[in-house]
Amino acid sequence: MAKFKCKVCGYVYDEDNGEKRRDLAAGTKWDDVPDTFKCPSCGAPKKSFVAI
């Protein structure tokens, strides 16, 4: 599973863990995360994330 880092604040979205605060179950692939996703730490849009 992959990880994606917010370029604004450094928050890391880990596909293995998902994101409870955004109702994304563990195992949710980044491609399946909605384009409306906002960083749960700083509110940056999905386009602000890069693969790590």
The per-residue DSSP string of 27-52 comes to T--GGGS-TT-B-TTT--BGGGEEE-
Residue 19: the pLDDT is: 97
Specify the amino acid at residue 52.
I
pLDDT of 1 over the 90 cut: no
* Residues annotated within a binding site for Fe cation: 6, 9, 39, 42
- CA dist 46 and 44 (Å) reads 7
- The per-residue pLDDT for range 14-45, each reduced to its tens digit, is 999 999 999 999 999 999 999 999 999 999 99
Q: Which domains does the chain have, with CATH numbers?
A: 3-51 (2.20.28.10)
Sheet holding 49-51, edge to edge: 12-14, 3-6, 49-51
- pTM exceeds 0.75: yes
* Residues annotated within a binding site: 6, 9, 39, 42
Banded pLDDT at 8 (limits 50, 70, 90) = very high
Residue 10: the pLDDT is: 98
The CA dihedral of 38, 15, 23, 6, to the nearest 10 degrees, is -20
